[in-house]
Chain A
């Protein structure tokens, strides 16, 4: 299991955060996704094999931009 932190741009309401969470959880290998509107960050628990690109794409699919993944 790996922990990843994504910085997300463009969120401005709680539905945004919950949309991104939903989209991230659909990525295969993602166990847990917590997106915080307050910190503009998402913390993801996932398998090691989940790539940064997959996560970024998931954020983009919900209509937002992932600035960085750590």
Chain B
């Protein structure tokens, strides 16, 4: 279909973009457009104005900042996958990003856009949540840091305030000894995840010392499998891990749709978490 009429502006600075958004509550940020434009075309969204942040210098670039990697919001998925800073500093993000949709989408879609859209079926929110990322919001007042755990508030809703634009995300580097895996379960290559599991695991002495698990599409927001995480602490590879991962769906509230009912999603979360954890632990 064809979008309804809207105004379009392309500000030259982040401050200008924030001012545009603050001045018009029905204005929407246009990043890579891979989520927003389909909604416009389906006429499920009627923004009065699109504020194109595609060329803001403040939102670009991937930076190694010692203890963390800073990724500008407008970094495309393709740039993330190809960035040595990312693949070395936060390989889990690169692994998951490589599973996003198809090459055409990855060349247009951005990390910031994906996070700010906050679709729980998107792959990247769960990854940033699992990695304890910190989202940096810009506004006319300056920058504000929001931990991922507080950023994803509800379905398609974030903690961003009116007049704020997601400027970038800080991903803390995990030290040596960590392994990573993103287990995405979907029916076709370009389809959304029915369930996805992002796992970061640190091994010590043949057991799991620490695990961080992010769940995709298991609720209104990306979720941490907190019960499984704590049960995994100290779990030996094998039955102990298997048992711990049986708790992966605790505290989730998975949706029902054409591709899966909640009970099946819960089952998948348990199986996929085990697989992701074992793969991250180097023991597929």
Partners in one complex: no
Binding site for A on B (CB under 8 A): none
State the A residues within 8 Å of B (CB): none
